[in-house]
Amino acid sequence: MKTPQISIVAPLYNESETFPLLVQRINALMDASPLSIEVVLIDDGSRDDTALKIRQVALMDERYHGVFLSRNHGHQLALTAGISAARGTEALFVIDGDLQDPPELLPEFYKLLKEGNDVVYAVRKKRKEGFVKRMGYYWFYRILRSISYVDIPLDSGDFALISRRVVDVLNKMPEESRYLRGMRSWIGFKQIGYEYERDARAAGESKYSFKQLFRLAYNGIFNFSEFPIKFMSRVGMAAIVISLIYFATVVLKKLFFAHVIEGFAALLFVIILFSGVQLLALGIIGEYVLRIFFQSKNRPLFIIKEEIVNREYI
């Protein structure tokens, strides 16, 4: 196979049910496209037969590039592994293996790329998840947008077509706690959104638990916002002001009314309030320290167990 112009990158974790349809739709796209396309499928330590299916399709069709990680590293690191392995000379098309991101949009994205944009990102105008998740996503993106020092587009995930020069910059960013859509926005260059209606999963259930979603949200907030630490400074100042007002009230009542505020409940309230503020401050500082700690270890972001490129094992 000649060097591909476009790499389609899809991380997979226990996606055995959706895999046949994914390959079917991508094959139809490649067969109809005049572009030279490769497909990079990353197995993120799946516990079903997803790895076996990736191996089979990669050995049968030289357009497929299989990347097998040593264990489950998580979606963002699996996607990072795929981006680093992709060979597309023009751009990378990042999709999810559950087919919520329709690969058929590649021609539309490519047109916008050829108009001079370096990143064409998808904007979800409608989602088909449950109400709680939809509300959570909705408010998270708006809160992050309001507190971030980077202009992160609303309702935009990892689904995007990214030019090779942006990919090269991404590959030079060794951040351990990755939030790729924020990193993509931070890089800059000319970026444009494309609205689409996000489909429901083709089969199976979401592999993102609420715990993993919160972790991703934390990475977005703590990696791309100064608000948490500044918020604690403001809370600290407010606590000092409240303490001084309370102290002044006690002194005035003692001097002018010969009465000192009494009561165990008031004292207990003050102790609990300021103890809570201190613990919250330590927790926020700990989030930053934890990220510094993991980054300072300088471990590889992911470990590739094996690859299949052009029907050959590496």
Residue 216 to residues 54, 149, 153, 220, 221: CA-CA distances in angstroms? Answer: 26, 18, 16, 6, 9
* Torsion angle of the four alpha carbons 245, 273, 224, 209, in this order, in degrees rounded to the nearest 10: -160
Per-residue model confidence (pLDDT) at position 130: 65
Per-residue confidence of the chain (314 residues) as pLDDT tens digits?
667 888 999 999 988 888 999 999 999 999 888 888 999 999 988 888 898 999 989 888 889 999 999 888 888 889 999 998 998 888 999 998 888 888 899 999 999 999 989 999 888 876 666 667 667 766 676 777 777 777 877 777 888 999 999 999 988 888 888 888 888 888 888 888 888 877 665 565 665 555 666 676 666 676 767 777 777 777 777 777 777 777 777 677 766 766 655 555 566 666 767 777 777 777 788 777 777 777 777 788 888 888 888 766 66
Which tokens in the block code for residue 32?
A: 């109809």
7 bridge partner residues: 38, 92
Q: What is the pLDDT of residue 143?
A: 74
The domain at 6-225+301-313 falls in which architecture?
A: Alpha-Beta Complex (3.90)
How far apart are the C-alpha atoms of 152 and 224, rounded to whole Å? 9
210 CB neighbour count, 10 Å cutoff: 10
pLDDT at 308: 84
Helix runs in the chain, H state only: 19-32, 50-60, 75-85, 106-114, 131-147, 164-170, 180-187, 210-223, 227-257, 264-296
**Would you tell me how many other CB atoms lie within 10 Å of the CB of residue 127?**
16
Q: Return the DSSP state at 138.
A: H
Nearest 5°: phi and psi at 98? -85, 0
The three-class DSSP label of residue 104 is helix
> The whole model's pTM is what?
0.75
pLDDT of residue 8: 93
Burial class (CB in 10 A: 0-12, 13-18, 19+), 297: exposed
Alpha helices in 33-160 (DSSP H): 50-60, 75-85, 106-114, 131-147
Rounded-to-integer distance, Cα 246 and Cα 243, Å: 5
Q: Which amino acid is at 130?
A: G
The Cα 158–Cα 274 span in angstroms is: 40
CA 150/CA 225 separation, integer angstroms: 8
Break the chain into its structural domains and give their ranges. 6-225+301-313, 227-296
Quick one: pLDDT at residue 179?
Answer: 81
Structure tokens given for 276: 């809570």
